[in-house]
Amino acid sequence: MQNQTLIQYFHWYYNEKDNLWTKAKNEAANLAQMGFTGVWFPPAYKAANGKSSIGYDSYDLFDLGEFDQKNSVPTRYGSKSEYLAAIDALQKQQIMVLADTIFNHKAGADEVEKVPVRKVNKEDRNEFISDEFEIEAWTKFTFPGRKGKYSDFIWDHTCFSGVDWAEDLKESAIYAIQNQFGEGWEEVPSEELGNYDYLMFDDLDFRNLAIRAELKKWGKWYYETTNVDGFRLDAVKHISPGFIIEWIDDMKKNCDRDFFIISENWNIESVEELEHYIEITGGRTQLFDSLLHHNLYLASIGGRDYDLKTILDNTLAHRNPMLAITFVDNHDSQPLQALESFIDFWFRPLAYAMVLLRIQGIPCVFYPDIYGASYEDDGQTIELQPVQELPQMLITRQNLAYGEQIDYLDHHNCIGWTRAGDEEHPNSGLAILMSNGDEGFKEMEIDKKFAGQIFIDVLGKRTEEVTIDENGCGEFFCDAGSVSVWVLKIQ
C-alpha cells in the first residue's frame, strides 16, 4: 500500500492564467508523480457572487457551471465540462477527487419573503431580545436560470433557521426564523455563543425533513454526475450531527460504495471537541487536525522558546490518528484571511516533516506550498514561495516513510523520530531530526537490519555519512532551525 497524500488544490486567491479545473487537468500526471493520491477541490457549484466567489457563499448546488445564473455560466474555477474533465484526468492517474460540500447555508436568494422572526443576542444566541415580528428576508430560491432541471425544489423560509439581514428595515442582526419547526435553534455540536447553529447567510433548518430529502437527492445526483470519490464537509460544527450521519449513511447505501469523507470542525482550543464529534458521528468522518496546525503555528512564531516536546500535545494526530487529516495551512489560515495563522516560512519544512513523515494522520498539502502564490488584498501584496524541500519530502513519504515509528520527542529544542521501513517498500526506513534552536544531534534507533549501512540527509543540508551500528542505531544531525531527513544511501 502506498501512503495516502492529499492536496488542497486551491487557495483563497487563486489567480493563475488557466482556470483551476484546466490547471488541475493539465497537472494530473505531475500530481501523481509527486506522490499525491487525492485532491480536494473547492466548491464547484454556483455561488451568490458568481464568478468572483470563492464558493463558500453557495447559491445553487445543482449548477456546476452549467446555467446562466449570478451573471455567469462558469464558476470562478471553470465550467461544468471542465470540472468533469479534471476529475476524469485525475482519476485516470489513480488520484481520488473530493468535492467541497456546503450544507450549513445558502446565499443569494432570488426573492424576498415576509418572514416571522425573533431577534437574538449576537453573543448568546439562546437569548431572544425581541418578540415575534415580520421582516422581509431574502429566503426564496427558485433558480430561474436552471428552470427546474435536475430538481424542481423551491427553497423558502421554512427551510432556514435564521437570517442576518432584514431587507425592509435595512438592518443587520441575527434573526431566528419562527416556523413550524421551532422558534429557536437546532442542536449543534458547538456551544460557542450559547448555540452556534447560525453561522452566516440563510442557515439551513434540518428539522425540515424536506431539505434532508433534497440534500440526499442532491448527493446521489452529484455522485452520478461527477463520479467524485468523496466529500469535504464544510462547517459541520454548525450543523445537526444527526443529519450528517443520515447523509453519509444514505450516500453509501444509495451509491453502493464507500466515500472518503473529511469534515471541517475548526477548533484550536479543545481536542476534546473533535473527539466528541467523532463519538457522536460514530467515526464516520475524518477531521482536519486544526489543533496540530495551531501547534505548528505557535512553534513557528515561538522560535527557540517553543518546547518541541509538546508539539503533538492535544492534537487529533496524537489522540485519534486514524481519523486525523493533518495539514500545515489552508485557505482560511493563509495571509489576509479570516483565521490567519500562517506558519512562518522558516518552520514550514519542519512542519511538513511532521505531517508527511510520521505514521499518524493523512496529510493534506496546501496548494501554494507546491506552486507558490502571489496576490493582493486590503492594499497588501503577498508572495508565498513554494516550500523548496516539499517535493523531496513527498517522494520520501511515497517511497520510504513506512514501518514502525520510534519517537525521540525528548528535548526542548531538538526532536526526532525514525521509521523502521517494511518489506513491501525497498530501502524504506528513515530518521528525521529537527531543531528550533542550535545545530542538533541525537542518537536514534532505526532497525537492526540496517547494521553497517550508511544513511545520508536526502535534503542535502548535512553532508555527513552516518553508519548504523550493530544495534540499529546511529547519531544523526540537523542544522540550526532546520530539519534533516536521513535515508539509506544506495551504493
Locate cell 433548518: which residue?
205
Q: Which three cell numbers stand for residue 107?
A: 446565499
Q: Is 203 in the site for Ca ion (CB under 5 A)?
A: yes
Which are the contacts of 299, defined by CB distance < 8 A and separation ≥ 6?
A: 306, 308, 311, 347, 350, 351, 436
Coil, helix or strand at residue 213: helix
- Going through 132-280 in order, the beta strands assigned E by DSSP cover 133-140, 160-166, 171-177, 202-204, 230-233, 260-263
Phi-psi bin for 242: left (phi > 0), alpha (psi -120 to 50), beta? alpha
CB of 391 to Ca ion, least distance (A): 40
CB of 194 to Ca ion, least distance (A): 14
Q: Is 205 in the site for Ca ion (CB under 5 A)?
A: no
Binding residues for Ca ion, total number by CB under 5 A: 4
Nearer to Ca ion, 181 or 441 (CB): 181
Coil, helix or strand at residue 419: strand
Using CB under 5 A, pick the residue from 63, 100, 197, 329 that binds Ca ion: 197
Active site residue 234: yes
- Per-residue string for binding with Ca ion, 210-249, x by CB under 5 A? ----------------------------x-----------
Residues in the chain: 491
Nearer to Ca ion, 104 or 337 (CB): 104
Nearer to Ca ion, 244 or 446 (CB): 244
Active site residue 134: no
Distance CA 430, CA 358 (A): 10
CB of 105 to Ca ion, least distance (A): 7
Q: Is 104 in the site for Ca ion (CB under 5 A)?
A: yes
Q: Is 202 in the site for Ca ion (CB under 5 A)?
A: no
CB of 331 to Ca ion, least distance (A): 20
Nearer to Ca ion, 102 or 468 (CB): 102
Q: Tell me the CA end-to-end span of the chain in Å, nearest whole number.
A: 26
Active-site position among 27, 197, 234, 369: 234
Among the listed residues 268, 188, 279, 283, the one whose alpha carbon sits nearest the alpha carbon of residue 236? 188
Q: Given CA atoms 46, 51, 52, 55 in this order, what sign does their dihedral have?
A: positive
Nearer to Ca ion, 176 or 354 (CB): 176
Which part of the chain contacts Ca ion (CB under 5 A), choosing from 108-116, 139-147, 189-197, 392-400?
189-197
Query: What is residue 85's DSSP assignment?
Result: H
CB of 237 to Ca ion, least distance (A): 9
Catalytic residue IDs: 234, 264
Binding site for Ca ion (CB under 5 A): 104, 197, 203, 238
